[in-house]
Amino acid sequence: MSRIVLPDFPWDSLAAVKARAREHPGGVVDLSIGTPVDPVPASIRDALASVSDIPGYPTTHGIPALRAAAIAALGRRHGIEGIEPDAVLPTIGSKELVAWLPRLLGFGPGDLVVIPELAYPTYEVGALLAGASILRADGLTALGPQRPAMIWINSPSNPTGRVLGVEHLRKVVEWARERDVVVVSDECYLALGWESEPLSILHPSVHGGRTDGLLAVHSLSKSANLASYRAGFVTGDPKLVAELLEVRKQAGMIVPRPVQEAMVAALTDDEALTAQRERYLRRRLILRKALQDNGFEISHSEAGLYLWATRGEEAFTTVEWLAERGILVAPGTFYGPTGSHHVRVALTGTDERIEAAAERLAG
């Protein structure tokens, strides 16, 4: 078996500019990674602690209360209907699932995985781990006569914040069904719509009452500040979820029991979600204005946790310009060749750090 060759971890290449940003008298404003900075809600922490004394192994499929809470939250928050309890499967965060999903579904050499032209780097890594081939494409016409095994879509997009409309989503679903292709929708930012309301691939207006061939990936890292808990889930086609469950049982890919309890609380607490949305909205408005007032153009960015910004120059030139002002961002090249003139600016700074970034841009 040949050795799997993976790309370098992108953020390692920011070491030098990060060191430069840290030299700023006011310290670094790190907006390069979408990692939460706000407190975990008390209701979630209490739930985590409430089952910390359970010594036995947790179930791979998750406790019934978790699956019920996920179904209820998807209905209340996103208008998703008809999901059965067996079709919900907790995951150890969403990145783990993204990285292993092609392989868990049995895809490998000779199979084609389609990812967005600008994409979360782990989509590519997941295909490589399975030994599959990759095609970057945003439109179905780019596929020509090829029949992929799997198509990734991501709305709202990381990094661009672009939202795919119902017609686009419906067209992808119909095309894939005609060819027996699995469609996986990364919906980790679904609750963060600002100028546009994102739709799940599991919304009735998209799938027409059928979930066959469809999977949706959800995370509580952004909406509930649970990145450190590694809390996510996948849902959709019951047959595909059953396949994933059987493999994950064998591999021991189990969400810890206290984390499952915390997920129930997070999926139930709509007030905490609203409060977090309001924090991100405030920060977004401040950063967006500061960037636009100081020579940046904002592309897409109608939803999600990032601003996709450009000064009309090479991405790393912009990264260095911002680092001189103590602000660290990610170059668009991390996400694909067409990101060569953009940077991704995360909203994940405290209110004080976001204000500091705005002042530095104005100065």
**pLDDT tens-digit series, residues 26-69:** 999 999 999 999 999 999 999 999 999 999 999 999 999 999 99
**Token reading at 227:** 């990145």
Pairing of strands 214-219, 182-186: parallel
pLDDT at 1: 47
pLDDT of 3: 72
pLDDT digits (tens, 9 = 90+) for 199-239: 999 999 999 999 999 999 999 999 999 999 999 999 999 99
Tell me the pLDDT of the chain averaged across its residues.
95
Q: What pLDDT, on a 0 to 100 scale, did the predictor assign at position 212? A: 96
Confidence label for 142 from pLDDT (cuts 50, 70 and 90)? confident
Residue 358 host element (H or E) = helix 351-362
The b/e string for 38-76 (b: 16+ C-beta within 10 A; e otherwise) is eebbebbeebbeebeeeeeebbbbbbeebbbbbbebbee
Residue 188 has a pLDDT of: 96
Q: Are 120 and 134 in contact (CB under 8 A)?
A: no
C-alpha closest to that of 262 among 43, 47, 70: 47
Q: Are strands 214-219 and 231-236 parallel, antiparallel or unpaired?
A: antiparallel
Tokens of 306: 């990032």
CB 331 within 8 A of CB 316: yes
Report pLDDT for 2.
62
Q: In this predicted model, what pLDDT tens digit does every residue of 82-98 receive, in sequence order? A: 999 999 999 999 999 99
The percentage of residues in the chain with a pLDDT greater than 90, rounded to a whole number, is 94
Per-residue pLDDT tens for 13-25? 899 999 999 999 9
Domains and CATH numbers, the chain: 10-39+271-362 (3.90.1150.10), 42-269 (3.40.640.10)
